Amino acid sequence: MPLPHLRAAGLALAVALAVPAAALASKKLPVSPDPDATIVHVLNRLGFGPRPGDVAKVRAMGLDKWIDQQLHPERIADPAVATRLGPLRTLHLSTGELIARYEVPPQARNEIQEKKAELGNNPSEEQVRAARREFMQKYRDRMDGTPQDVVQDLQSAKVLRAAYSERQLDEVLADFWMNHFNVFAGKGPVKFMIGEYERDVIRPHAWGKFEDLLRATAESPAMLFYLDNWLSADPNAQPAELRDRPPRGRLGRGPFGRRPWFMGDRPAAAPPGQGKGQKRGLNENYAREIMELHTLGVDGGYTQKDVTEVARCFTGWTMRNPRQGEPSFFFNDRIHDHGDKVVLGHRIVAKGGGKNEGDEVIHILATHPSTARFVSYKLARRFVSDEPPKALVDRAAETFRKSGGDIRAVVKTIVTSPEFLSPATRSAKVKTPFEFVVSAVRATGADVGDARALTQRIAAMGMPLYQQQPPTGYKDTAEAWVSTSGLLARLNLALDLAAGRVRGVSVDASRLVPASAASDPDAVAAQLVPSGLAESTRKTLESEAAAADPARVAGLILGSPEFQRR
């Protein structure tokens, strides 16, 4: 572990970030006069930071050409990623295959209930651990692994793609949309659905029309289950029409049922509308979030009445095979509310099959001016600054409207804008824990054979991947990530990574920073922070640099304010 004086030195470097969010937003690092500074800025914003040699590579190619190439990831060969992902055995399995191989075997249910009764309602932690060990030992030959293995593979894949993909902007955008359309792996079977959700819903639509992406997420089993819309039905539907639904207030049995209590699963919240005197069946969770978080924004002009009307339009949007096999979207007309509705002033008349009503809502929302602005604002915030310039947001929103929600066109408007390329925007963003860890891997040229230790470090920094419970997703603004505990966790990772102390990750410190350069902080920084160090950081590093230990110096630089920013 790092020595106490090293921790103190590193904390002195990081403390510049540990200030109130307002002060942080106004605090600017010195702008480097180096002509390569713009290249470094673009690599930090359109990707997860430069690797050794990347700046020279982009300089030789030409920055404009590199940006254009990143805007068309399908043109970029990316063979290294497939090799890195090969050992992750659950990654390419379907939801049904994951349920069959990694879910608790159905024949174990009676035994689980008996064990629970035996231990009582409040078993101790030791009893839970012992029961878990006993259960897994007994059923090991019937399962390929545990549900936790599935989540760990997803997390590892996310880190490996971001660290090694040549399609850097594609990875940034996939991460953006996964966060925008967040689903929570800890809710029941969603952990088995996220792989297909990312692979078959988010990534294929990440660069296309926003309306197509919105519809694909609305029909995804992961979203249907996470926000409970698969349970939503006409409150006036007859009981016979609801016979296929599980009892109200629980998730049912089988693969989509609640996980065994001693496997550590979080129970899903009961859908709203179940209180005394409330109508049965209608669920407003998805209706609210599709407007507040996915399209219009909280100030987008909708009312509670609109929430209820949208929920009515989405009744019957449910799933086939919710308890076995491959879950898939299914519109059940028997439980759809066939009455007329009014959404944002648009009258939706019931006619024919009812699915078209949900499709019409999606079109209304995707083409609404508030959606153009809200989505453009979020993209500009991700790429430019925590509070992006209004003029840029206006232009991006205009591109959104004129192009019919063409995501590629909107992103291009933002990343080729004068505001994005302005020196004033350099180092204006603080990296999230995910961005920090991946950028450190890239900067050091680390070889990640097993990414699980890195995903654990990201979780320790407050950002467990695929496990953000609220539908808001993780924040990408400074105030969410600037804290003493978070910065110490980053510093520890930086020191451990540079010294080769992270399990599954190897770093050649002698290649990273030659011993002859270890006493010169600027020479070390040139490898890790091409944009350069602030004078205050250089002074803090001088005493440590005298020790001529490249790993120590490199770790402290990775923990510096300059590296924490992008």
HEC letters along 130-173: HHHHHHHHHHHHHCCCCHHHHHHHHHHHHHHHHHHCCCHHHHHH
Q: Mean pLDDT score of the chain, rounded to an integer?
A: 84
Q: Higher-confidence residue: 382 or 424?
A: 382
CA distance 102 to 471: 26
Q: Give the DSSP letter of residue 518.
A: T
Q: Higher-confidence residue: 191 or 31?
A: 191
Residue 13 has pLDDT above 70, yes or no: no
Residue 518 has pLDDT above 80, yes or no: no
Average pLDDT of span 305-316: 97
Tell me what pLDDT residue 3 has: 43
DSSP string, 319-355: EESSSSS--EEEE-GGGS--S-EEETTEEE---SSSH
Partner residues linked to 317 by β-bridges = 331
Tokens for 77? 């060969």
Q: Where are the domains of the chain?
A: 4-70+430-564, 223-366, 369-425
Residue 277 has pLDDT above 50, yes or no: no
Nearest to 195 by CA among 266, 265, 329, 98: 98
Residue 271 has pLDDT above 60, yes or no: no
Percent share of the chain, pLDDT over 90: 62
Tell me what pLDDT residue 268 has: 34
Tell me what pLDDT residue 238 has: 64
Cα–Cα distances in Å, from 57 out to 54, 65, 71, 75? 5, 12, 17, 17
| Structure confidence at residue 519 as a pLDDT band (50, 70, 90) | low
- Using one digit for the tens of pLDDT, what is the confidence trace for 106-139? 666 667 667 777 777 787 878 777 776 777 677 7
Tell me what pLDDT residue 475 has: 96
Tell me what pLDDT residue 503 has: 97
Average pLDDT of span 276-285: 69
Average pLDDT of span 156-171: 98
Q: Angle at Cα 468 formed by Cα 129 and Cα 504, nearest 5°?
A: 65
Q: What is the pTM of this model?
A: 0.86
Partner residues linked to 417 by β-bridges = none
- Using one digit for the tens of pLDDT, what is the confidence trace for 432-479? 999 999 999 999 999 999 999 999 999 999 999 999 999 999 999 999
Tell me what pLDDT residue 487 has: 86
Strands 447-448 and 505-506: antiparallel
Average pLDDT of span 332-336: 94
The answer to whether the beta carbons of residues 134 and 70 sit under 8 Å apart is: no
- Using one digit for the tens of pLDDT, what is the confidence trace for 199-250? 999 999 999 999 999 999 999 999 999 999 999 999 887 654 554 444 333 3
Residue 7 has pLDDT above 60, yes or no: no
CB-neighbour burial class of residue 18 (10 A; exposed 0-12, middle 13-18, buried 19+): middle
Q: Higher-confidence residue: 257 or 496?
A: 496
Inter-residue long-range contacts of 522-525, CB under 8 Å, 24+ positions, other chains counted: 524/550, 524/553, 524/554, 524/557, 525/557, 525/562
Average pLDDT of span 35-59: 94
The answer to whether the beta carbons of residues 413 and 399 sit under 8 Å apart is: yes
